[in-house]
């Protein structure tokens, strides 16, 4: 008994706080939770060097909930502990005018942290997410969010500033992302259509976020990659949010994680739906769905369309590998303002990510390696069709880079390149496309590869 009492005294403020939260006792009620009067909570003690060296997995937390390791691992995260009263004041009483949106966990409100309101926290706008006990997610998802985002830091992950665990209340406090979600810009027609370069930048940023998760010392599978979970900062930089469904990935000799099938219809990998076996390639499939949404400007699942077009992947995946069908895929809102060769390269990345066989999907490192060079392609370069693991692939050489390379090339290579280009032009078929803007009419040509070189 004496030893047990001593161990309790050793636990830090965070451990005491989280000990109550881990039980989830207050979260069991079914009534609608409304923020009530604030109660004082313990403040975490100073950070520990051990906490910064090794991330504690969600499994570790659930298995050592009452142990000192929990507080040691999370104190170094620099998360701030808020009271309900503080967050109510920050959001003006969760004013309707501050409402930002609502997901499976609950509603989200914009707020403002006043200067010196919290030691070490500067004045800034915030986003506050409230738990709705009648929603699709609950205490476990709240805890998952705190565990993962409390320890993971990356430019392409949204920053969790703090949390509130008070009686039955579960709240999360994030950095405010003024441009909202990618979903809103693609499908809800926010002012200002996303340009090709902005879309590609968003795709690359989101891919880098997944690379960070998959390649971590303790890998993480995001499990809920979709447009509504990709938030945008003032420069449209992509940041992944909502880690409520994230899972620790397989380690060592493990090939997968067996888990209950959860996610969003239209984004989940087929093998995960069938077996419950979760791998990093499950996230790769979801990324492919989002990449197709970025290209097409269409939702993964759209019940308002004819039955054969409602599932975007089933409807369009086969078109992605055919350069002549690229215009069928691309978002009409872009009005043809994109480099066709680079767009087809992106389409090929989406095609491989959406393979029904997870072994044929690239890992996210390869996805970034394929997409990032295309950020510098502003016009159509040479198109070279090849095969990668039995699947068609595309290489794009930007015109400027190609000219510089040829200037330094031997005479024989220059002659071969000239002959190849002449042959290529002879076998291409142009498609005339009319593009009209207000007060302006112009025509331009989009060149497609001839039928005999289709992949």
Give 50-96 pLDDT, tens digit per residue.
Answer: 334 466 555 555 554 443 444 444 544 578 889 999 999 999 988 88
Predicted pLDDT of residue 142: 77
State in words which class domain 2-46+54-175 has.
Answer: alpha beta
Predicted pLDDT of residue 146: 83
Q: Any idea how long the chain is? A: 455
Q: Above pLDDT 70, what percent of the chain? A: 61
Region 306-324: mean pLDDT is: 95
pLDDT over 60 at 48, yes or no: no
At residue 415 the predicted structure's pLDDT band, cuts being 50, 70 and 90, is low
Predicted pLDDT of residue 208: 98
Predicted model pTM: 0.71
Q: What is the pLDDT of residues 97-117, one digit of tens each?
A: 888 888 767 889 999 998 878
In the chain, CATH 1.10.510.10 sits at 182-414
Predicted pLDDT of residue 138: 61
224 is catalytic: yes
Q: Of 60, 132, 224, 331, which one is the catalytic site residue?
A: 224
- Any idea which of 158-167, 341-350, 439-448 has the lowest mean pLDDT? 439-448
pLDDT over 70 at 408, yes or no: no
Fold of 182-414: Transferase(Phosphotransferase); domain 1 (1.10.510)
pLDDT over 50 at 27, yes or no: no
Top-confidence residue, 60 or 311? 311
pLDDT over 70 at 22, yes or no: no
pLDDT over 80 at 289, yes or no: yes
In the chain, CATH 3.30.200.20 sits at 2-46+54-175
SS3 71: helix
């Amino acid at each position: 008994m004496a030893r047990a009492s001593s161990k309790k005294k050793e636990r830090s403020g965070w451990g005491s706080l989280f000990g109550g939260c881990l039980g989830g006792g207050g979260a069991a009620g079914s009534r609608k939770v409304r923020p009530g009067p604030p109660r004082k909570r313990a403040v975490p003690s100073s950070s520990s060097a051990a906490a910064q060296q090794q991330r504690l997995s969600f499994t570790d937390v659930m298995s050592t909930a009452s142990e000192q390791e929990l507080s040691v691992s999370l104190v170094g995260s620099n998360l701030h502990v808020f009271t309900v009263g503080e967050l109510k004041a920050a959001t003006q009483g969760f004013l309707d005018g501050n409402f930002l949106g609502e997901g499976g966990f609950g509603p989200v409100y914009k707020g403002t942290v006043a200067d010196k309101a919290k030691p070490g926290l500067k004045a800034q706008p915030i986003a506050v997410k409230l738990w709705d006990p009648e929603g699709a997610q609950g205490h476990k998802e709240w805890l998952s969010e705190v565990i993962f985002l409390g320890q993971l830091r990356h430019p392409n992950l949204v920053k969790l500033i703090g949390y509130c665990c008070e009686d039955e209340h579960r709240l999360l406090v994030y950095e405010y992302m003024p441009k909202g979600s990618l979903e809103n810009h693609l499908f809800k027609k926010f002012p200002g259509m996303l340009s090709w370069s902005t879309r590609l930048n968003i795709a690359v940023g989101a891919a880098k976020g997944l690379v960070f998760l998959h390649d971590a010392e303790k890998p993480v599978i995001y499990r809920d990659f979709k447009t509504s979970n990709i938030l945008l900062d003032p420069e449209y930089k992509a940041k992944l949010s909502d880690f409520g469904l994230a899972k620790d990935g397989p380690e060592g000799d493990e090939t997968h994680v067996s888990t209950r099938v959860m996610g969003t219809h239209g984004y989940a990998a087929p093998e995960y739906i069938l077996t419950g076996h979760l791998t990093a390639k499950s996230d790769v499939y979801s990324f492919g769905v989002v990449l197709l949404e970025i290209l097409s400007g269409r939702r993964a699942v759209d019940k308002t369309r004819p039955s054969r077009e409602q599932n975007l992947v089933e409807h369009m995946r086969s078109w992605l590998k055919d350069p002549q069908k690229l215009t069928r895929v691309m978002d009409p809102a872009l009005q043809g303002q994109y480099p066709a060769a680079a767009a087809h390269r992106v389409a090929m990345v989406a095609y491989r990510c959406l393979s029904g066989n997870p072994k044929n999907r690239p890992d996210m490192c390869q996805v970034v390696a394929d997409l990032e060079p295309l950020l510098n392609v502003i016009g159509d370069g040479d198109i070279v069709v090849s095969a990668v693991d039995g699947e068609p692939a595309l290489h794009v050489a930007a015109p400027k880079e190609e000219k510089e390379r040829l200037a330094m090339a031997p005479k024989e290579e220059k002659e071969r390149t000239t002959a190849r280009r002449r042959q290529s032009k002879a076998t291409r078929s142009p498609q005339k496309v009319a593009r009209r803007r207000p007060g302006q009419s112009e025509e331009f040509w989009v060149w497609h590869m001839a039928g005999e070189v289709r992949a």
